[in-house]
Amino acid sequence: MPDPRIIAIDLDERSILRRNADIEQERRVAIFDLLEANHFDVAGHDGPHRIRLREEEGRLAIDLLGEDGPVRHTIRVGLARLRRPIRDYFAICESYFKAVRQDHPRGIEAIDMARRGQHNEAAELLQECLKGKVETDFDTARRLFTLICVLHIKQTTTVDVARHPPASHVT
């Protein structure tokens, strides 16, 4: 019987150049949350799924892995439509972490609302990008977007974002 969910996920280690404790924590939280509850229905492939996320020539590659590790199928999604939401999300996160350091509660709340709004819009866009290939629920798309951001931290030029990666919690 098909089980359309992700049971194991990892990020291609070659895609992440900068590693620090904050990035590792965000990655762990996003993966934990994703594995706890998700819907990931791949057209033509019954689940449950073991997947690896990676970047390949400017595209997101989602490898479906077999029980013993080899790739059974790869889903490729162009990232051009997601580049601006990723950049905008990083900018909002940078503002959020600056506000946290300066301890301005009103500013933090407003920025956090903007961050969540940007995260929600990006999740909806990701669902559109995956349409016809993978059906996900909203929370799964949000968590996948967080992991896609982790893959893109190496491409940002803002040191602050690398020190303080995007928050992954679904709120």
The pLDDT tens digits of the residues spanning 43-99 come to 999 989 999 999 888 899 999 998 777 899 999 999 899 999 998 988 887 787 777
Residue 41's domain spans which residues?
Answer: 6-163
β-pairing, 49-56 with 6-11? parallel
Query: In DSSP terms, which residues pair with 6 in a beta bridge?
Result: 49
Residue 168 lies in a domain: no
Instruction: Assign 17 a pLDDT band (cuts: 50, 70, 90).
Output: low
Instruction: Work out the pLDDT band at 159, boundaries 50, 70, 90.
Output: very low
More confident residue, 154 or 81: 81
In-domain check, residue 28: yes
d(CA 62, CA 150): 15
Taken in order 64, 62, 74, 140, the sign of the CA dihedral is positive
Note whether residue 169 is domain-resident.
no
The residues pairing with 42 across neighbouring beta strands, listed in sequence order, are: 45, 134
Query: Which one has a higher pLDDT value, 20 or 138?
Result: 138
Q: Is the pLDDT assigned to residue 32 strictly greater than 70?
A: yes
Residues 44, 30: Cα–Cα separation, whole Å: 26
More confident residue, 61 or 17: 61
Question: Would you say residue 24 lies in a domain?
Answer: yes
Least confident of 107-111, 113-117, 129-133: 107-111
Of 15, 5, 4, residue with least CA distance to 152:
15
The count of domains in the chain is 1
**Residue that wins the pLDDT comparison between 105 and 145:** 145
Give a yes or no: residue 52 inside a domain.
Answer: yes
